[in-house]
């Protein structure tokens, strides 16, 4: 039976010390052994997923910002009394029916 190998990733503590991951290595990449969560391919995929999620969130935030800007532009110059009359439907109309 093969001897279990240990994952070679070093984990950094809160101070300066680091230690070797205690998990059992299951995969070899470029001559080094890694456990499941430190497998460079797995880490890469996880980071890509994270970036995709961030990009989606950023796109959502900028859409919200653009809508707010458009709403501000659409209501610019209105008096307080006129602003009180502004309804979501009126804003939608002013924005071109979004």
Vertex 87 angle, CA 72 and 94, to 5°:
50
Q: Interface with Zn ion by CB under 5 A: which range of 32-40, 49-57, 69-77, 81-89?
A: 32-40
Least Cβ distance, residue 97 to Zn ion (angstroms):
54
Least Cβ distance, residue 87 to Zn ion (angstroms):
57
Least Cβ distance, residue 13 to Zn ion (angstroms):
15
3-state secondary structure 29-89: ECCEEECCCCCHHHHHHHHHHHHHHHHHHHHHHHHHHHHHHHHHHHHCCCCHHHHHHCCHH
By CB under 5 A, residue 39 contacts Zn ion:
no
Question: What does the binding site for Zn ion look like in residue numbers (CB under 5 A)?
Answer: 7, 9, 21, 23, 35, 38
């Amino acid at each position: 039976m093969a001897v279990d190998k240990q994952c070679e990733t070093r984990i950094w503590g809160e101070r300066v010390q680091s230690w070797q991951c205690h998990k059992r290595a299951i995969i070899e990449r470029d001559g080094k052994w890694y456990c499941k969560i430190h497998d460079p391919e797995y880490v890469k995929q996880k980071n890509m997923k994270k970036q995709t999620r961030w990009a989606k969130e950023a796109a959502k935030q900028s859409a919200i910002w653009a809508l707010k800007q458009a709403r501000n532009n659409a209501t610019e110059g209105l008096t307080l009394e006129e602003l009180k009359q502004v309804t979501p439907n009126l804003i939608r109309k002013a924005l071109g029916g979004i």
